Chain A
Amino acid sequence: QVQLQESGPGLVKPSQILSLTCTVSHGSISNGAYCWSWIRQHPGKGLEWIGYIYHTGSDHYNPSLKSRVSISVDTSKNQFSLRLNAVTAADTAMYYCARTYYDSVWGSFRLDSWGQGTLVTVSS
C-alpha cells in the first residue's frame, strides 16, 4: 500500500515562497501509470486541486494558480515538491499530496492515495 507524507514549514510570511515536499513510500514515483498531485483545503472550506506532475517532469496546473505555482519531482529520492510564490493569507490551508490516476482517453482522473496533510499558515 503506497504511502505519502508531506513535509515543510508550517508558517510562511506574506510575499514569501511556500515550499513543501511529499515523500512516497511503499511504491515508486517512477511508476508511469500514475502522476502525483497537490491539493489544498482552506479552513472550513472545500478542496482545490493545485496541479500534478509525472516522473518525467511533465506537469499541469490549475489555471487559477498557474502564474505562482510549480511542481517538481526527484525520482532518486522518491519525492515531489510544491512551490508557491508570493503567498498571501488566502494561501493559508491544509496542503495534501496524492497519488493520481489519469486516463485522458476515458476522462478518468482520481486521487487514490493521500498523505495526511500539512497545515500551512501565512502570517507575519
Chain B
Amino acid sequence: QSVLTQPPSASGTPGQRVTIPCSGSNSNIGTNTVNWYQVLPGAAPKLLIYSDDQRPSGVPDRFSGSKSGTSASLAISGLQSEDEADYFCAAWDDNLNGLYVFGTGTTVTVL
C-alpha cells in the first residue's frame, strides 16, 4: 500500500554523504509535512526527522531532511557504521478521508 517511493538500498563508506529520496504526490508530500524514521536491526522505529527538516532532541546533526514539491530527501553526512539501518519516509495523505502513509523503505549499508 506504500504510496511513497524510495530506492530499496543505498550505501557508502564511513565519512561519505548518503542521500535517500522519497517520491510522493500532491495529496501527501505536496500538501503535508514529511517525517523520517530510522529502524535499527532488531529495534523499534525511531523518529529521525519531522516537519520536513526538524531534528528531535538527541538526533545528531549529520542527519538532515529537505522537501521540494512532491519529493523529499534524507541526507546522512559523515556516514558512520551505526547508521546501518532501514529508513522510511512518511506523510499524512489526504486521499480516502485521510491516512498516514509510509515509504517503501531504504536499507543503508556502510561499506
Could you list which residues of chain A lie within 8 angstroms of chain B, going by C-beta atoms?
37, 39, 46-49, 60, 62-64, 96, 102, 106-117
Contact = CB atoms under 8 A, between A and B. Distances in A.
Interface of B: 1-2, 31-33, 35, 37, 43-47, 50-51, 56, 88, 90-92, 96-105
Contact of B44 (A63, A102, A107, A116): A116
A64 B33 contact: no
B44 A115 contact: yes
B45 A96 contact: yes
Contact of A47 (B31, B47, B88): B88
Contact of A60 (B35, B43, B47, B98): B98
Contacts of B102: 46-49
22 contacts: A37-B100, A39-B45, A46-B88, A47-B45, A47-B88, A47-B102, A48-B1, A48-B102, A49-B102, A63-B97, A96-B45, A108-B51, A109-B35, A109-B91, A110-B35, A110-B47, A110-B51, A110-B90, A111-B37, A112-B56, A115-B44, A117-B44
